[in-house]
Structures are given as structure tokens and as C-alpha cells.
Amino acid sequence: MNKCYYKLPFDFASVLDENRGYAEMCTELESIDQHIEMLIGTYPGEHCYDRNYGTGIWDMDFERIVSLDAWKTRFVECLSDAISKYEQRISNCSFRLDVEDVIKENVLSKNVSIRKKVDIYIDAILNSAGSKCSLYYTLYLGPLSKD
């Protein structure tokens, strides 16, 4: 059975346009990628129809990291729980995180802000085809400032 997947954000103007009259389509993998990106960016309780939708990583946003390995493990658990619950089109997910500090300095005010940059790599099986797929996301967490 062929399924249709639409690109996000959905362009209602193109559907209502007399000349075009259609929405832009995407592949199943692009649809999964868009959905996981939305899932990662949503805090639980933010979605009005499903209060559990989203990832618990936002509770870790301003957390002081004592052990990077423990923090990564908890981050992956939050991600894994959300993806296994809300994205059924992939399975056997394995995760890899690269975490680094990104420093931004404002020369005029002499303020320094530090953010955590998290590169998320997901390897999984695309259930419809039984093939391997890889997804990648970059996330910036917790603007910490230091004078």
C-alpha cells in the first residue's frame, strides 16, 4: 500500500491556490526525520492532544553535568522512550551523542555565553523496507552565561 507523506511545515496556501492546488510531498524517511525533529523539540505537556508527547531531555536543559557519561545515558533513555512510543516506522534504534561546549563572546559588553551543543546520531531499521537508515540532529542546550 502506497502512503503519502507531506513536508513540514504544511503549506496551506499552496493547497488553496487555484494554480497549484497540492501540498508538497516527501519520502517516508524524510517524514520520519521531520517527525523525530518535532518530537525532540517538544517538551512533554506542550502538545494539547497528548500531554505525554515530546522528550524529557528538556528537563536536563540547564542541569549541571557532573558525569558526562551518566548525562548521555539519561539523554539517550529519554530519546529512546519517546521514539519507540511515537515513531513506529523505525525500530532497533541505536544512538550516539557528541557533546561539546560552544562559547560565544560579545566583545562590546564583554559577556561570554556557553551552550552545550549535542550532535545526535540515530541508526535504525526502516520497517517498511527492512533497510538501515541513519538520522542526524544538532541541538543546543542551556545558555549559561559567565561574566
Q: How many CA atoms lie within 13 A of 129 on its CB side?
A: 10
Residue type, 73: T
What pLDDT sits at residue 9?
67
Domain ranges of the chain: 5-146
pLDDT tens per residue, range 41-76: 999 888 888 888 999 888 877 667 778 898 899 999
Taking phi first (over 0 means left), then psi (-120 to 50 degrees means alpha), and beta for anything else, what does residue 79 get?
Answer: alpha
- For cell 493547497, what's the residue? 15
Closest by CA position to 34, among listed 94, 86, 85? 86
CATH of 5-146, one of 2.60.120.10, 3.65.10.10, 3.90.79.10, 3.10.450.40: 3.10.450.40
Look up residue 85 and give its three cell numbers. 512510543
Kindly report the average pLDDT of the chain as a whole number: 84
Q: What is the 3-state secondary structure (H, E, C) of 68-106?
A: HHHHHHHHHHHHHHHHHHHCCCEEEEEEEEEEEEEEEEE
pLDDT at 1 over 70: no
pLDDT tens per residue, range 72-116: 999 999 999 999 999 999 999 999 999 998 887 877 877 777 888
Global pTM value: 0.80
Look up residue 56 and give its three cell numbers. 524529557
What pLDDT sits at residue 141?
83
Distances (CA, A) of 133 to 45, 93, 96, 98, 136: 30, 10, 14, 19, 10
72, 99 in Cβ contact below 8 A? yes
What pLDDT sits at residue 88?
94
pLDDT at 144 over 60: no
pLDDT tens per residue, range 119-134: 999 999 999 999 999 9
